[in-house]
Amino acid sequence: LQKSLSETFGADKYSRARKEVLTYMFSRPMQMALYFCTGVLEDETLFHHYALNVPFYTHFTSPIRRYADIIVHRLLSASLGARSPIKMEKEAIQKQADHCNDRKMASKRVQELSADLFFSIFVRVRP
């Protein structure tokens, strides 16, 4: 598959863009991660990370990137005793997680539509 894709990319000024779009399209079927507050879920199997095969998993990046990561950093810091607890009820945290999931899904949908548009133009002009 990789060899076939590499041959498809070509060597013109659009080859890098084609590579990014096609690679993205092939990875699209992967399940998207969702934010949630562990305090509102009773089924601990939902905390499992399938690919890493670990029973409890928390993902976050730099807290300057996304609001959800700021919340995760604050909660982890509080749980480790490095800062005072967050004064938010678990339902309010879940409401924030739901909002972040909604925004992330909308962003992903726009990205998919953009990739679909680029791909359809690519197919149309490609001999």
pLDDT greater at residue 34 or residue 100: 100
CA atoms within 13 Å, Cβ hemisphere of 123: 8
pTM of the model: 0.64
Give the C-alpha separation, 117 to 123, whole Å. 10
pLDDT tens digits, 13-45 = 878 887 777 777 776 666 677 888 888 888 887
pLDDT tens digits, 56-87 = 888 777 777 778 888 888 888 998 999 998 88
Does residue 51 contact residue 30 with C-beta atoms inside 8 Å? no
Q: What is the domain partition of the chain in residue ranges?
A: 1-30, 34-125
- In one-letter notation, the amino acid at residue 96 is Q
